[in-house]
Amino acid sequence: MLVGTTGEVVDRKTILITDDSTALRAMLVSIIESLGDFRIVEAANGFEALRLLPREHVDLIFTDINMPDINGLELISYLRNNPNYEHIPVIIISTEGSQGDIEKGRLLGANEYVVKPLDCSDLKNIIVKYLG
């Protein structure tokens, strides 16, 4: 929690961006920053995300599917089977856009599935939907 300029307690929401593309992470950071005062943490793959989670309170996760080490689907499976993280909304952002890929992501527990290229207004609507 933070204290605002007038002494009020400000609860900043934290968003974890998990993607091996530095460019995509930078674009997501830019979109998120345009929406307000969110705290953003980044991971280049699922393994890094899993290392961050015990140290960070995360309110929303964006993840790619195709990443080295632990991929996005493995990350989602871990999150949904862990009581500490099962409640966190997870949004897949991927180039894999077949109906089968989307269904697989949803069955594993993704809350949303966004196919690249990204539509900024859709991402903004998703963030507002899950974080207010």
pLDDT tens digits along 37-89: 999 999 999 999 999 999 999 999 999 999 988 999 999 999 999 999 999 99
pLDDT of residue 24: 92
Residue 4: pLDDT band with limits 50, 70, 90: very low
* CATH, range 2-131: 3.40.50.2300
**Which pTM value belongs to this model?**
0.89
Q: 3-class secondary structure for the chain? A: CEECCCCCEECCCEEEEECCCHHHHHHHHHHHHHHCCCEEEEECCHHHHHHHCCCCCCCEEEECCCCCCCCHHHHHHHHHCCCCCCCCCEEEEECCCCHHHHHHHHHHCCCEEEECCCCHHHHHHHHHHHHC
Residue 1: pLDDT band with limits 50, 70, 90: very low
Per domain, the residue ranges of the chain are 2-131
Count the Cβ atoms, other than its own, within 10 Å of residue 37: 10
